[in-house]
Amino acid sequence: MIIQVKVKPGATFDKVERMEDGSYLIHTKVKAIDGKANISIIKMLSKKFNVNFKNILIKNPKSRKKIIQITI
């Protein structure tokens, strides 16, 4: 499964929400320093989709708009 994600790092809460166009908006408390926000995103998505975090691959890791590949 491939999904498009827009990330808001440094938010006051953690939340994964689906947008009307089918993409996801992810708020994470972690700031985008040294890839820590990407790790937080992977953990949140692994809980949401009930998959192992090793099955999630992030493309465009330095952009706020990411393409995520989830293998089940």
Per-domain residue ranges of the chain: 2-70
Taking 90 as the threshold, does the pLDDT of residue 1 lie above it? yes
Q: pTM to 2 decimals?
A: 0.89
Helix (H) / strand (E) element for 51: namely none
pLDDT tens digits, one per residue of 16-71: 999 999 999 999 999 999 999 999 999 999 999 999 999 999 999 999 999 999 99
Q: Contact at 8 Å (CB) between 30 and 13?
A: no
- The tally of CA atoms less than 13 A away on the side-chain side of residue 9 is 18
Q: What is the mean pLDDT of residues 3-16?
A: 96
Closest of 12, 10, 21, 16 to residue 49, by C-alpha: 16
Model confidence at 72, in pLDDT bands (50, 70, 90)?
Answer: confident
Measured in degrees and rounded to the nearest 5, phi and psi for residue 24 equal -120, 145
Question: Domain 2-70 falls in which CATH fold?
Answer: Conserved Hypothetical Protein Mth637; Chain: A; (3.30.1200)
